[in-house]
Amino acid sequence: MGGPLLKNYVDGKFTAPSTRRNLDVDNPATGEVICQVPMSTAADLDVAVQAASRAFLTWSATPVSRRVSYLFSLISAMRRDEEELCKVLVEEMGKSLADAKAEMKRSVQNIEAACAMPMIQQGELLVGAAPDIDGEVLRLPLGVFGVIAPFNFPAMVPFWFIPYAVATGNCVVVKASEQVPNTLDRIFALIHKTGLPPGVCNLVHGDKEAAEALIDHPQVAGISFVGSSKIAKTVARRCVEQGKRFQALGSAKNHLVVMPDANMDECVRNMVTSCYGCAGQRCMASSVIVAVGDQTYQEVIQRFTTASQTVPVADPLDPAVADDPMVMGPVISAKNKSFIESMIEIGVQEGATLLLDGRGIEVDGCPGGHFVGPTILADVQPSTQVHTTEIFGPVVAIMKADSFDEAVRILNDHPYGNGASIYTASGYWARRFKLEVKAGMIGVNVGIPAPVAYLPFGGQKASIFSDIKAQGRDVLNFYTDARIVTQRFWPEK
């Protein structure tokens, strides 16, 4: 055990929870312990929810212009401290500095989008709904919302939810991932300095016990969760049973379709970034390439394999590579590394051709790091484990389709439908792709079709278990109740 012990942020103060159970957090590139994180109990979680419930009474009545003023202050603070926040993020998660900076910018963009709440939370009025009667729709906050964050985006994913919940007049309790608690801890220190009233935003560290206590707490109106589909489905079911609102975003297996008319130079460069960024540990990472036609398939195999061999694998904070936008860091843990390597072996056993093997890679100066190099499996068949399983690592499956229609069938038959992209110069193929493919986020000559903060984020099929997606204007409907008022006034006597 070693490193400083983090505290929860509850009711406007950093305080130690009652738990005596702590977990070491290590740097996945070096294996060195960064800090310790407390495994909060259900009782610790209840303290945070009670603080949020008390704060809601006054926060919900605070004018919306005043509510967003704290968000403007947070934007300034995060921009000022961006470099430090990014280094903290890289140290605990392992992604490159370039990816960390992109994540931090998207986090700020979501806060900016929520600052538009004075306009987007305005209600509706129908004058003359009936004789002498008007109809009105008010968008009112609901209470306390819970956010359960994943390890791969310690800053961005929580801010798909936090600023919108706060701006609409709700209070939040965030359960940070126990694998990457430092980034949110630093951001909540900035939130504290904005002067946000105590109890509006609360941070609880912990594992499954704290998460389940948050989901089941009777004073929590809704849950926003991002993680695996298996857990997302469980979260959704538990929320339904308790009459709670929920956003439960799950797993992905994003496909890139390469048409014969694609600009292959740009295509390959784009695919490498999409497949290996964050070591493949992002829900928008592409892990399947479907080449249409034998000639396209052979060219993709040759050129993508060659390009993949040039991806540097290193500690992202090593000064020698820190400025390289293509550097690939470690995966999050030894457990994840072991799973990824086992899936590579399963792919070989299923008959795939191993063109590039990232197992056993050694990085100088990082004997305790959890590294897997770029890995390519060709001749992958639909419905095999390596095709249907979310591996969440730098492992790419390459498949061949004889036609555009066959490529679409491969995508649509897959259980997940998070994101999908097509590389083509043809408006005809692009139009058909975006209309026919069953995925929530579509790209045309874009390897990572992640929408900007002003648009919704979320997939289809088993990639999501909710009607309302994350971020953007639509999330207003999740964090507010549509209060419908029918009113008439008779003349005074």
**Average of pLDDT values for 138-144?**
97
Q: Which residue is associated with the tokens 């971020």?
A: 471
Q: Which two tokens stand for residue 420?
A: 């999908």
pLDDT tens readout for residues 148-166: 999 999 999 999 999 999 9
> Could you give the CA distance from residue 204 to residue 44 in angstroms, rounded to a whole number?
8
Helix (H, G, I), strand (E, B) or coil at 302: helix
Residue 411 CB neighbours (<10 A): 24
**Average of pLDDT values for 32-46?**
97
Hey, where are the domains in the chain? 8-250+464-485, 254-444
> To the nearest whole percent, how much of the chain has pLDDT over 70?
100
Q: What is the mean pLDDT of the chain?
A: 97
Quick one: pLDDT at residue 13? Answer: 98
**Strand locations in 310-369 (E):** 353-356
Q: What is the pTM of this model?
A: 0.96
> Could you give the CA distance from residue 143 to residue 57 in angstroms, rounded to a whole number?
9
* Close Cβ partners of 372 (under 8 Å, ≥ 6 residues apart): 279, 330, 331, 337, 340, 341, 358, 359, 361, 393, 394, 395
> Could you give the CA distance from residue 379 to residue 352 in angstroms, rounded to a whole number?
5
Q: Which two tokens stand for residue 271?
A: 């695919």
Quick one: pLDDT at residue 110? Answer: 97
Does the active-site annotation cover 283? yes
Residue 295 CB neighbours (<10 A): 10
Quick one: pLDDT at residue 3? Answer: 83
Quick one: pLDDT at residue 493? Answer: 87
* Close Cβ partners of 93 (under 8 Å, ≥ 6 residues apart): 28, 100, 151, 152, 154, 180, 183, 332
Whether the predicted pLDDT of 71 surpasses 90 = yes
Dihedral sign of CA atoms 62, 66, 71, 77 in order: negative
CATH of 254-444, one of 3.40.50.300, 3.40.309.10, 3.40.50.2300, 3.30.70.360: 3.40.309.10
We find that the CATH architecture of domain 8-250+464-485 is: 3-Layer(aba) Sandwich (3.40)
Dihedral sign of CA atoms 64, 67, 73, 77 in order: negative
Quick one: pLDDT at residue 126? Answer: 96
> Could you give the CA distance from residue 71 to residue 169 in angstroms, rounded to a whole number?
12
Quick one: pLDDT at residue 295? Answer: 98
> Could you give the CA distance from residue 47 to residue 336 in angstroms, rounded to a whole number?
33
First-to-last alpha carbon distance for the chain, in angstroms, is 78
> Could you give the CA distance from residue 202 to residue 48 in angstroms, rounded to a whole number?
6
Whether the predicted pLDDT of 283 surpasses 70 = yes
Quick one: pLDDT at residue 1? Answer: 52
pLDDT tens readout for residues 77-119: 999 999 999 999 999 999 999 999 999 999 999 999 999 999 9
**Average of pLDDT values for 469-486?**
95
435 phi/psi in degrees, rounded to 5: -90, -30
Quick one: pLDDT at residue 291? Answer: 98
pLDDT tens readout for residues 216-260: 999 999 999 999 999 999 999 999 999 999 999 999 999 999 999
From its phi and psi, is residue 346 left (phi > 0), alpha (psi between -120 and 50) or beta?
A: alpha
Quick one: pLDDT at residue 359? Answer: 97
Quick one: pLDDT at residue 474? Answer: 87
* Catalytic residue from among 86, 267, 283, 366: 283
Q: Which two tokens stand for residue 285?
A: 């990472």
Helix (H, G, I), strand (E, B) or coil at 46: helix
> Could you give the CA distance from residue 252 to residue 450 in angstroms, rounded to a whole number?
13
Helix (H, G, I), strand (E, B) or coil at 177: coil
**Average of pLDDT values for 157-179?**
98
